[in-house]
Amino acid sequence: MLSALTTRASSALTRLPRGLGRLGQCQLCRSWQSQPICAACLTAWRHPSRRCLRCAIDLPHDHPDTVCQACEDQSPEFDRAIVAVDYSGPWPGLLTRLKFQGATALAKPLAQLLAEAVCARRGATSLIVPIPLSKQRLRERGYNQSWLLAKQVGRRLDIPARVDVLERSRHTQRLMNLSAEERLRQIRDAFHVSPRALATLAGQDVAMVDDVMTTGATLNACALALLEAGARSVSAWVVARTPAPTNVRSS
Ligand SMILES: [Zn+2]
Ligand SMILES: [Zn+2]
């Protein structure tokens, strides 16, 4: 009898830490939550703004058109970019933790934010693909943050996501040290569609998912590769948008 009681008591004790283990602090307001970013913080830091329909850059309030001047002058290869937030406030810190510091649990709330931004404008999207890392970078980091986001967004919007469509051919140098022209050439040559994905790509409306959009050159190169391989249309879905590429380390 005594030993039965002791067994029950000790099993209750061993259950307790597991239950508590699901709780953690919100990364922004430090309140105790079951999610790494609480719902109140996700809403509070969103700051919806008026954006270019093509490249999602912030438009001045008095801008007369729905498209920015740069896109008027030269359209990107993708049809539209949708971003969830500006690369400012708490977002650079959170995205850095997701990308470089192994905080993979942040993918879920950040993907939720992106899925909500995309929801009304998802169009006929039939396939979600992440922007790939080179094999070397993937080995170093152990995961591709864009794939973590793409999987979660796909699950939320009920759209299939595939990691094996786009490939990064080689390890690009730290791009911010290069001239604009050399940077573009390197990026354009770096991406291709994997031969085994060609058959499934024909006629698909593809959304590329990434964590941060800077100049859009990477997304542009990937869109070009997807369109040349037979995709019907390509969109870009990105968590955060910045016009300042020097603030972000290249992936
Ligand atoms: Zn919070
Ligand atoms: Zn634009």
pLDDT digit string, tens, across residues 220-247? 999 999 999 999 999 999 999 986 433 3
Q: What is the pLDDT of residue 247?
A: 38
Asked whether residue 71 is assigned to any structural domain, the reply reads yes
C-alpha closest to that of 136 among 184, 165, 172: 172
Residue 184 lies in a domain: yes
Looking at the CA of 40, name the nearest ligand: 1
* Predicted local distance difference test score (pLDDT) of residue 171: 61
Whether residue 28 lies inside any domain: the answer is: no
Question: In whole angstroms, what is the distance from residue 180 CA to residue 185 CA?
Answer: 9
Asked if residue 9 has pLDDT above 80, the reply is: no
What pLDDT, on a 0 to 100 scale, did the predictor assign at position 250? 44
Mean pLDDT over the full length of the chain = 86
3-class DSSP state of 182: helix
- What residues are neighbours of ligand 1 (ion), with CB under 5 Å? 26, 28-29, 38, 41
Which-ligand-closest: CA of 68?
2
Residue 29, in any domain of the structure: no
- Host domain of residue 110: 52-247
Q: How many domains does the chain have?
A: 1
Q: How many angstroms is it from 113 CA to the middle of ligand 1?
A: 14
d(CA 11, ligand 2 centre) in Å: 59
Confirm whether 33 is domain-assigned: no
Interval between CA 22 and ligand 2 midpoint (Å): 42
Q: What is the mean pLDDT of residues 114-120?
A: 92
pLDDT of residue 122: 83
Q: What whole-number distance in Å separates Cα of residue 105 and Cα of residue 239?
A: 15
pLDDT in tens, 61-80: 889 999 999 999 999 999 99
Position 159 scores a pLDDT of 97
Q: What percent of the chain clears pLDDT 90, i.e. is strictly above it?
A: 64
Residue 93 lies in a domain: yes
Residue 224's contacts (CB-CB under 8 Å, 6 or more residues apart) are 77, 188
**Is 201 among the domain residues?**
yes
**Which pLDDT score is estimated for 147?**
98
SS3 5: helix
Q: In this predicted structure, what is the pLDDT of residue 174?
A: 64
Residue 25 is assigned to a structural domain of this protein: no
User: For 39, phi and psi rounded to 5 degrees?
Assistant: -60, -40
Predicted local confidence at residue 43, as pLDDT: 86
- Say which CATH number the domain at 132 has: 3.40.50.2020
